[in-house]
Amino acid sequence: MSEPKKYRITTHGCQMNEHDSERIAGLLEADGYVPTDSDDDADVIVLNTCCIRENADNKLYGALGNLKARKTENPDVQLVVGGCLAQKDREMIQQRAGHVDVVFGTHNVHRATELMKLAKEGGPVTEIWEEAALDEAEAFPSALPAKRDTDYGAWLTIQIGCDNSCAFCIVPSVRGKEISRPVDDIVAEAQGLADQGVVEITLLGQNVNSYGRDLAIAARAAGDADVRLRPMFGDLLRQIGDIDGIRRVRYTSPHPKDMTPDVFAAMAETPTVVPHLHFPLQSGSDNVLKAMHRGYTGERYLEKLAQARETIDDLAVTTDIIVGFPGETEDDFERTLEVAAAAEFDNAYTFVFSPRGGTEAAEMVDQFCDPEQVKDRFARLRTVIERSAIAKHRARVGRVEEVVVEGPSKKNPDVLTGRTQQNKLVHFASEPLRIGTFANVRVTDSAMQYLLGELVEVTAKPRHKTKIPLLNG
């Protein structure tokens, strides 16, 4: 019997891309391919790109340059480029790297293996659709087979694209307009995942809490006069959270401007929806928020956050903040510090502004901030973030938290690593436990990025089938 062909996928960027890669892997495995973790013995090498990160293009063309030797040595190897950068650069990729076999865009993920076959027969192919196909099965990566990294948790795409126009963001131009997936399809997929033993679902979208607005508008246009023109995200959380077998529901990312009390109420009422809110602030200054087109003020953000904390018990809050957006003055930055301090975040992803080609902010060259000043501001912001992060973690010492086991700790294989409902990492001493086990852990110590603890008791065994039990060490 001949050896099965092998594939390797390298993924850059956000969970959307990770999820697209799962689907590409699923399509390849449906065609008989098996995974490998080395480009050297792969028959298909897929680079799933992201154009949000700095120097993304240099990195892509660097990686493609390195792969040229592999292609020369074995011309049957197929080089495939997908993702946001492919959507943006289109034909240019094959112009700059003529050894690439297939380039496909963010709306063409479902066509990946088809395009590879076409390229085998007729030479290099580039296929970029401007918009998602109207056929639901083609538009949503979740509707395709998938090869997931973990058996107990799964991503579920509820919406693609984004109707906002944040000045720093390339997403609307590479992912297209917002399209919500019908509720019944999402619930059916979640039910199917639960039937396979998945216990944790993360709902994915660029702007999840505006979910359903387009569906309501379409229903109204089709003559349903009773339909209320409002997002349906709260209802969706309740429905997914009520599915038998699902123990945790997460979501990312929401937009503060679209956040409604109903979403907080749904989180509070549905015990399976975890008390963790990732709530991207971006800046605390009203001037900067306006220039970014974010649609809220620092004060409004804090009001919504206070509402969230009043409604949801023991809520952990994380955020994203950009330092040095074009035109940011010292006063603007001081306001960001004030809002960040008042928000008392559990943690924050902090970024130094860097222009992304194709965005409005990249054109604001005459307002770019002085890099030395930005460096200083970044350090000051980190101090504020770390102060609240340390305090939040310290406050958890002595408590018993439920964690889901992710595996042995990377640094010390004698202890296990798990994640709490609030999405905090806990390293804890324990007997060997399988990945996906739920356990109560007593928190004994804390650091800024993690908690330390000891096993109290196992609360639920994994429901998915795993052939090889995971042991410590």
Query: Residues 423, 403: contact at Cβ < 8 Å?
Result: no
Restricted to residues 358-377, the positions that interact with ligand SF4 (CB under 6 A) are: none
Residue with smaller CB distance to ligand SF4, 277 or 435: 277
Here the tokens at position 47 are 């680079």
15, 164, 270, 307: which one binds ligand SF4 (CB under 6 A): 164
- By CB under 6 A, how many residues form the interface with ligand SF4? 9
Please name the residues in contact with 431: beta carbons below 8 A apart, sequence gap of 6 or more.
455, 472
| Cβ(443)–Cβ(416) below 8 Å | no
Burial of 451: CB neighbours in 10 Å, binned 0-12, 13-18, 19+ = buried
Alpha carbons 270 and 201: distance in angstroms, whole number: 14
| Cα 453 to Cα 472: distance, rounded to the nearest angstrom | 16
The CB-of-166 to ligand SF4 minimum distance in angstroms stands at 3
Applying CB under 6 A, among 166, 236, 322, 381 the residue interacting with ligand SF4 is 166
Whether the CB-CB separation of 435 and 403 falls below 8 Å is answered with no
Half-sphere exposure of 416 (CA within 13 A, CB side): 26
Interaction of residue 281 with ligand SF4, rule CB under 6 A: no
Determine the interface stretch with ligand SF4 among 91-99, 166-174, 219-227, 450-458 (rule: CB under 6 A): 166-174
Binding mask 186-215 toward ligand SF4 (x if CB under 6 A, else -) reads --------------------xx--------
255 binds ligand SF4 (CB under 6 A): yes
**Interface with ligand SF4, residue 102, by CB under 6 A:** no
Give the residue from 116, 122, 123, 129 showing the smallest Cα distance to 99.
123
Q: Using the rule CB under 6 A, is 174 a contact of ligand SF4?
A: no
Give the type of residue at 144: L
Q: Is 173 in the site for ligand SF4 (CB under 6 A)?
A: no
169 touches ligand SF4 by CB under 6 A:
yes
Which CB, 250 or 419, lies closer to ligand SF4?
250
For ligand SF4, the closer CB: 166 or 190: 166
Phi, psi dihedrals of residue 246, rounded to the nearest 5°: -80, 120
Of 168-176, 223-231, 307-315, 384-392, the segment contacting ligand SF4 by CB under 6 A is: 168-176
Interacting residues with ligand SF4 (CB under 6 A): 162, 164, 166, 169, 171-172, 206-207, 255
